[in-house]
Structures are given as structure tokens and as C-alpha cells.
Amino acid sequence: MRILLSVFLFCLFVPAAFCQNRADSLANRYKNYIAKYLDKENALSGYYSVDRDGISIFQSPNSKANNNVEYKIFWTELEQTKLLFGNLSTEDLLSLLKEKKENDLFSLPIETSKGSLTSSTSPQARSLKNMRIAIDPGHTAGTIEEARVEKKFIDIKADAATGLKADVQLIEGQLNLATALLLKEELERMGAIVMLTRTLPGQTAFGVSFKQWMQTSFKRAVDSLFIINEITNDDKQFLLTKADEKEIFRKLFSSLDTKERSRKMNAFKPNLSIIIHYNVDEKNTEWKKPSSKNFNMAFVGGSFMKNELEKEIDRFEFLRLMLSDDIRNSLNFSSYMLKSFVAELNVPIAKEKNADYLHEYCLSTEKEGVYCRNLTLTRLVHGTIVYGETLYQDNIEELFELAKHEVLINDIETSKRVKQVAAAYFNGILRFSGIIK
Ligand SMILES: [Zn+2]
């Protein structure tokens, strides 16, 4: 007993001489966590190691073979490092980690910025007053022409083949924006402070339309990406001389726009982040006819695939998702959202077998309908998030419901169905916050 007590006290008061039992249990815990949420194909061990000393990150499997560590977090530094993830910007923490390499973090002077980069909200907040909520209305299009460029639209003709009695057009960017604006209105009524990454039809995260961005920023963007080796000379020539609008949108603009969304959301320092999308049946090629399927699902970070740790920033986010509570908090938040989607929309939760991408790219979690998936925004947006994919737009019934013009929000005509979706998000937040059951 005396020996046990001594060991306990030793572990408690001498963190530098870290207790090996504790080190082993931490190593096991993190290995399990990585297998459960992060390393989808069990193919990334060339980029990290978890051992009795702590967690090491490597630039490549080759670096690992040569024991050339990019940076290492010792178990004795774990709590301090977790705190830094909540207090430093990505740039500051990344440069600190690179400078640190295998040194003890505590030996470096650490200046934390004012306020927290992210903060998780306890489900028992019971009020939305002053809660900071960031909302990203997915995509950009406000017209069918813009939607054709980003390929996020449904245009089904009435004929014998489709079985429709009237033509139907849907623009996902517009559905997402209307939902976000309706949700913002409700949240602000409850005292929340809400930021939208874009607020107008056709507007991108840069505050202008894609067409305006093409005129003012396209060439400069290509040049700067070439200078920082993000694109090759061939890519540059293709983009500047051969690519059409659609190709520029999909090969270049979409990723810049998405990164700008994540930058805005992180800069806002939200308590909660909500990314709004409407889904489609992936098997319904080109969405030229209606589908009978209809499901709800949500994504959170994790589920990195092989080759998805080649970039420095991605290894950093991998470590953040490993060390922070972001996945756990997001799973919890998203599960409240899923319950709300089902209750308010009367559409079932998607199981893994319901879509190929759910088993090919995602990891199922303990929360039904919430999947880890390494999307740009689930990876780059810090803190507690939900990436919502409510109902299938191409579903035979949803099509007509979504296309109706029954509700006006900021000069946008939308449907009662969209208002129900906004209400589902709103009630999900209220349920998560303990305001309603
Ligand atoms: Zn979408």
C-alpha cells in the first residue's frame, strides 16, 4: 500500500519523471482514438508514432524511417499543448511546434493571445445570449447560370421519362443561403451573435460574385499559388490560357473559397459552427430524374485517407483533432442536430449502407448518422462543428416542396420546407444547449 501510495504521489507531483504506467495507458488511449476517428485505412502510421514518450509527427514515411521528427509532444506536455490549441492561431502554434521539434515545450517562451481561438460550449448553457455562432451557407450560386458553373443544381424536365408534370429547378447555394438567413434571424432573436460567411445570392466568401472575382483576383491568385509551389507551371498555363469558367471554378476557385470560409469562421472565434448543405442521391447520375431515396446525415472532422497527410497544414490539423476535444464535442453537438432533423423533417438518418461514400471515405461513430469525414471544412474549422447534409433535393417529394415560393427572407423567395430545415437546425441548437428537450 505504502509503495502504491508512493507511486501515486510520484506521478502526481513529479510530472517530469512521467509514470510509465500512465504513459502506457495514454499511448494506448491515443492509438485507439486514432484508429477509431482519424486513420480511416490504417495507412498513415508513416506520418506519426505514439509511444511511451509521447506523440511524434513526421513529414513523410521516409522521415520516420530516418527518425527525423517534424515535432513531438511529450506526455508531460500534453495538457499544456491542448491549452495552446485553444489559445494560439494555427500560424503561431505551427511555427512554435516547428521550432520546438523534439525539445520540451515548457522551455520555450509561450505567449498566448487574448481570448480563445475556439471554445466548446457545455450542453447545459441554457441560454443563447452572447453565444457566438458561425454559419456557412454552402456553395455560392444565386442563379441557375451560376449554379451550372459550380455544378450544384437540379434541373428536371417534365416528361414521360421523369414522370414529372412540371419542370423543377433547384439551386443548392440558394437553398443553403435561405436556410442560413432564416436560422440567423431565429438565433439573433434569442440573443446569439451570428456570423455568416456569405450573405447575398451569388456571393462567394470573398464578398464578391465568382464573375467579379475572375475580373479582379483570378490572375493574382494563380500567380501567388505558383510562387508558393501550390500549383505547377503546367497548371498555371492551363488555368491562364485554356481553362474555361467551370474548370477554373472547380480546379482553383472552389478550394480558395472554402479556405476563406474556414478563415472567417475561425477568426470569429465561435462557440458553435454550422455548415449548411442539402444532399442528393449520389447514384442518381446528373440528377436528371427524381430519386425515391431521402436521408439526413452530418459530418465532423477525422477519417483521413492515405496521402492526406502530405501537407504540413494537414498534419497540424490531424494533431489538433487528436489532442483537442473538437471531435468529441462536434459528435455530441451533431447528434442533437440529427435528432432534430428526424423529428422536424420526418426524414430518416442515413446508415453506412445507404451511400457508398459513407463506407468508402467516412468512419462511423457512436452517434447514429454522424460520420467522421475529412472534408476541407471539417478539417480546417476549429472547435465544435456540425456539417449538416439534410434531406435529398432530388427526392420526388422534396423536389416540389423545396421549389415552392412561400417564404420571403432578405428578398429571397424560398419554401416552407426550407423554413422547416432552418427550424430543425435552430431546435438542434436549443436541444444541445439544454433550452428545450
Ligand atoms: Zn452541397
- Tell whether 96 and 226 lie within a shared domain: no
Place of cell 502530405: 310
Could you tell me where the DSSP H helices lie in 118-240?
Answer: 144-150, 172-189, 210-216, 218-227, 233-237
C-alpha distances out from residue 34 to 49, 60, 83, 246, 367, Å: 11, 18, 20, 37, 17
- End of a domain among 72, 107, 142? 107
| Model pLDDT for residues 194-225, shown as the tens digit of each residue | 999 999 999 999 999 999 999 999 999 999 99
- Tell whether 83 and 202 lie within a shared domain: no
CA 47–ligand 1 middle distance (angstroms)? 31
Residue 257 within any structural domain of the chain = yes
CA 67–ligand 1 middle distance (angstroms)? 42
CA 186–ligand 1 middle distance (angstroms)? 23
CA 16–ligand 1 middle distance (angstroms)? 48
- Tell whether 242 and 374 lie within a shared domain: yes
pLDDT at 285 (0 to 100): 85
C-alpha distances out from residue 247 to 11, 44, 211, 238, 386, Å: 58, 31, 13, 10, 29
Cβ atoms of 311 and 419 closer than 8 Å: no
Rounded-to-integer distance, Cα 191 and Cα 193, Å: 7
Residue 176 within any structural domain of the chain = yes
| Rounded percentage of the chain residues whose pLDDT exceeds 90 | 81
CA 426–ligand 1 middle distance (angstroms)? 19
Cβ atoms of 70 and 101 closer than 8 Å: yes
- Tell whether 275 and 335 lie within a shared domain: yes
- Tell whether 341 and 389 lie within a shared domain: yes
| Rounded percentage of the chain residues whose pLDDT exceeds 70 | 91
Rounded-to-integer distance, Cα 267 and Cα 170, Å: 32
pLDDT at 319 (0 to 100): 97
Q: What is the DSSP letter of 362?
A: -
pLDDT tier at 3, thresholds 50, 70, 90: very low
pLDDT tier at 120, thresholds 50, 70, 90: very low
CA 256–ligand 1 middle distance (angstroms)? 16
pLDDT at 22 (0 to 100): 87
Residue 39 within any structural domain of the chain = yes
Instruction: Give the DSSP H or E segment for 23.
Output: helix 20-33
Q: Is the pTM of this model over 0.75?
A: yes
CA 386–ligand 1 middle distance (angstroms)? 14
CA 175–ligand 1 middle distance (angstroms)? 10
- Tell whether 198 and 72 lie within a shared domain: no
CA 177–ligand 1 middle distance (angstroms)? 11
CA 139–ligand 1 middle distance (angstroms)? 6
pLDDT at 115 (0 to 100): 39
What CATH number does residue 265 fall under?
A: 3.40.630.40
Name the grid cell of 194: 451570428
**For residue 298, what are the β-bridge partners?**
370, 388
Q: Show Cβ contacts of residue 66 under 8 Å, excluding neighbours closer than 6 positions.
A: none
CA 375–ligand 1 middle distance (angstroms)? 12
CA 180–ligand 1 middle distance (angstroms)? 13
> What is the number of structural domains in the chain?
2
Rounded-to-integer distance, Cα 196 and Cα 229, Å: 31
CA 276–ligand 1 middle distance (angstroms)? 8
Strands (E), 241-344: 272-279, 297-300
Residue 371 within any structural domain of the chain = yes
CA 228–ligand 1 middle distance (angstroms)? 29
CA 173–ligand 1 middle distance (angstroms)? 7
Name the grid cell of 132: 457566438
Residue 269 within any structural domain of the chain = yes
How would you class 283 by CB atoms within 10 Å of its CB: exposed for 0-12, middle for 13-18, buried for 19 or more? exposed
Q: Which residues surround ligand 1, an ion (CB under 5 A)?
A: 138, 277
The residue-averaged pLDDT of 231-251 equals 96
Rounded-to-integer distance, Cα 424 and Cα 13, Å: 49
- Tell whether 277 and 317 lie within a shared domain: yes
Residue 127 within any structural domain of the chain = no
- Tell whether 157 and 23 lie within a shared domain: no
CA 327–ligand 1 middle distance (angstroms)? 21
Rounded-to-integer distance, Cα 56 and Cα 408, Å: 53
CA 137–ligand 1 middle distance (angstroms)? 9
- Residue 42 belongs to what domain range? 2-107
Cβ atoms of 349 and 338 closer than 8 Å: yes
CA 25–ligand 1 middle distance (angstroms)? 41
CA 240–ligand 1 middle distance (angstroms)? 27
| Model pLDDT for residues 351-372, shown as the tens digit of each residue | 999 999 999 999 999 999 999 9
CA 290–ligand 1 middle distance (angstroms)? 18
- Tell whether 197 and 310 lie within a shared domain: yes
**Can you say whether residue 202 is alpha, beta or left, with left for phi > 0 and alpha for psi between -120 and 50 degrees?**
left
Instruction: Give the DSSP H or E segment for 156.
Output: strand 153-156
